[in-house]
Amino acid sequence: MSFPWARQYEPKNPVSKFFDEKLPLPRLVYNAVGAGYPVPRNLSYFWNFGVLAGFFLVVQIVTGVVLAMHYAGNAQVAFASTEHIMRDVNWGWLMRYAHANGASFFFIVVYLHIFRGLFYSSYKAPREMIWLLGVVIFLLMMATAFMGYVLPWGQMSFWGAKVITGLFGAIPIVGEPIQVWLLGGFAPDNAALNRFFSLHFLLPFVIAGVVILHIWALHIPGSSNPTGVEVKQESDTVPFHPYYTAKDGFGLGIALLAYFALVFFLPNALGHPDNYIEANPLSTPAHIVPEWYFWPFYAILRAFTVDFFFVPAKLMGVIAMFASILLWFFLPWLDKSPVRSGHYRPTFRKFFWFGLIPAMVVLFICGGAPAEEPYVMMSQIATAYYFLHFLVILPIISSSEKTEPLPYSITEAVLGSDKKPVLGENTTPAV
Amino acid sequence: MADTTATATPDMATSDDGIRRRDFLDIAAVSAAGIGGLAVVYPLVTQMAPSKDVLAASSTEVDVSAIEPGQAIKAVFRKQPLFVKRLTAEEIAAAERDDNAALRDPQTLADRTKEGHGDILVTMGVCTHLGCVPLGAAEGEVKGEYGGYFCPCHGSHYDTAGRIRKGPAPTNLEVPEYEFTSDTVIQVG
């Protein structure tokens, strides 16, 4: 948002003047992430994860393009070409581990980004479109990560491909034909691997496109902040550069330390050892699990073990799994509380920390565990709570809860007091 | 239409109910463009359907003479596993005892085997839930709570006749089309 007090771009030398008159790209950058973009002064470290997510998208695209120079998307040689990258290609081991663990870090920062949004209700007006585009990015990320995991053509790759395309086979009538169409055959084989390679290359660029819309939408109302109170005056904000470029840079340094600690010292900690066994279409590993970042949704899929009326358990699980994410599209309209931040919503806060978060942890644990008791029952209870939270509890508390008093402004929240705005000073009407 | 004053500006040439001939042109043009668009999309979508070499999946012959009672072999049929199992007397008895039990996908053992070969159970080794290969065919594998097959992916249990008894799978293990070409050889597909 360009608040009235945002600094204006002034080209200083003849070169920048030349460009500003013909193609004002420097002006665009200045207004988007430079000194021309005022941001609330009270952002906590939870506001670092958007930039980190963008950074890991770049890591994935760069290492991905490099890996595609050496990888062969053919079922005969895919597994061997991956080992060729590990052993023979200069720095190939680094590129592969950076890409594989980069996916994990991408999901770590995106989950923190999402749950930041859930706690501070960043999805509420006027930021609904940012949220909706974010959910689209998340769905694209999951599709991309899934197809990437298929490419090494290990056991987990093969059986993951079989199970995930099988999800579409659960759709009545058209399901089977859709699954055959997705695989290009009756079981995962060369046709499937080949097209997954193509689509795994394409989708990150689609994600990058939606990320641009996501940032564009964010820059209309400007960033939310931990109080949930909108920006009213100049003293509520600081320019993005250098204040938040520096803070994001510091956060990036911390994230990179953790990331490279994993890449260098525990590169296989988040992977599954069975994917070092070449794909065998005649034998499913005794305990197959998806990658860790799919566990909560996998647990929801597996929680449905009995038929409901005319809906078979299989279809029920698939519907529930997709619905668990698709219901996020309706979140801005399910939570109608006028107060955004969880800091000022005591009831909401209790259900968030003692309801939603434990349910997610249980789903995460159950998704990685075998499909046995007590995990099946635990995931059933957690799944029930998950849907109850968003569809019932949240709408009820958002209309009945007694919220705590909000600060008058961001300035007051930070400094403890705020001189009331004087007529004629740089202000925008209170929202 | 024949009115000369109306033809001066063609857009005003309307029939009695207010519809212009130009409206038809608009519809015709947009329809043609729509059909053209579909003609472009159709090959782009259907190129992903199974190609000719994949569709040319052949049939498979399996010699069942060497299978001992209680043993199963895994063959390959259309790049998917095929279980061929010779049932023991106890397994047949267990399957027949449950023929009238409450089954999710009711079928008797006799429905699922060929006459005269009631001890040979031929099924796809593909769990009807999401397609994993159930355990239980090879020696020492878990056979599940009903002594048949157990799918490790999401915990579906199949009985000795390969019928779904517990877990998320909706139907029994598929019995493919096959016939005995001799007393000891079956041809699948």
Judging contacts by C-beta atoms under 8 Å, the chain A residues touching residue B78 are: 186-187
B152/A182 CB distance under 8 A: no
Q: Are A119 and A331 in contact (CB under 8 A)?
A: no
Domain spans of chain A?
37-267+287-414
Calculate the average pLDDT of chain A.
92
Query: Nearest to residue A161, comparing CAs of A204, A202, A201, A190?
Result: A190
User: Where are the alpha helices (H) located in A173-286, listed in sequence order?
Assistant: 175-183, 190-218, 245-265
Q: Which residue has the higher pLDDT, A220 or B101?
A: A220
If you classify domain A37-267+287-414 with CATH, what class do you get?
mainly alpha
Q: Do A181 and B132 touch (CB under 8 A)?
A: no
Report whether the peptide linkage leading into residue A40 is cis, meaning its omega lies within 30 degrees of zero.
no
Q: Considering the domain B54-188 in this protein, what is its CATH number?
A: 2.102.10.10
Residue B158 CA to its chain's centroid (Å): 18
Q: Can you tell me whether residue B171 is helix, strand or coil?
A: coil
Distance CA B120, CA B178 (A): 12
Q: Where are the domains of chain B?
A: 2-46, 54-188
Residues in B whose CB is inside 8 Å of some CB of A read 48-51, 54, 57, 74, 76, 78-81, 104, 125, 129-135, 151-155, 166-170
- The helix/strand/coil state of A39 is strand
CA-CA-CA-CA torsion for A418, A422, A425, A428, nearest 10 degrees?
Answer: 70
Residue A164 — φ and ψ, nearest 5°?
-70, -40
φ, ψ of residue B121 in degrees (nearest 5): -105, 115
What pTM, to 2 d.p., does this model score? 0.88
Determine the average pLDDT of the residues in A221-247. Answer: 94
Contact in structure between A74 and A190 (CB atoms under 8 Å): yes
Tokens 């460009």, residue located: A19
Higher pLDDT pick, B62 / A150: A150
CA–CA distance from A339 to each of A78, A121, A242, A389, A401 (Å)? 53, 9, 30, 18, 10
Whether residue A291 lies in the annotated active site: yes
Q: Identify residue B103 by its one-letter amino acid code.
A: L
CA pair distance B22, B4, nearest whole angstrom: 17
Beta bridge partners of B187: B61, B179
pLDDT digits (tens, 9 = 90+) for A79-132: 999 999 999 999 999 999 999 999 999 999 999 999 999 999 999 989 999 999
Q: Please state whether beta strands B164-166 and B147-151 pair in parallel, antiparallel, or not at all (unpaired).
A: unpaired
* Burial grade of A20 (CB within 10 A; 0-12, 13-18, 19 or more): middle
Lowest mean pLDDT among A56-65, A159-168, A291-300, A330-339: A159-168
pLDDT digits (tens, 9 = 90+) for A261-278: 999 999 999 999 999 999
Name which of A288, A312, A313 is nearest B153 (Cβ-Cβ). Answer: A288
- Which CB contacts under 8 angstroms, 24+ apart, belong to B148-152? B149/B83, B149/B173, B151/A284, B151/B127, B152/A284, B152/A285, B152/A286, B152/A287, B152/A288, B152/A370, B152/A371
Classify each residue of B42-66 as buried b or exposed e, where b means 16 or more C-beta atoms within 10 Å of its C-beta: eeeeeeebbeeebeeeeebebebee
Question: What is the per-residue pLDDT for B6?
Answer: 47
> Has A223 been annotated as catalytic?
yes
Q: What is the mean pLDDT of residues A308-332?
A: 88
CA-to-CA distance for B121 and A128, rounded, in angstroms? 57
Q: Most A CBs within 10 Å: which of B79, B84, B104, B154, as the mutation test of the A interface?
A: B154
Q: How does A123-160 read in b/e, with b if 16+ C-beta sit within 10 Å? A: bbeebebbbbbbbbbbbbbbbbbbbbbbbbbbbbbbbb
Q: Is residue A190 very low, low, confident or very high in pLDDT (cuts 50, 70, 90)?
A: very high
Measure CB to CB from residue B152 to each of A185, A195, A284 and give the nearest one.
A284
d(CA B172, CA B182): 27
Choose among B78, B134, B153: nearest Cβ to A163. Answer: B153
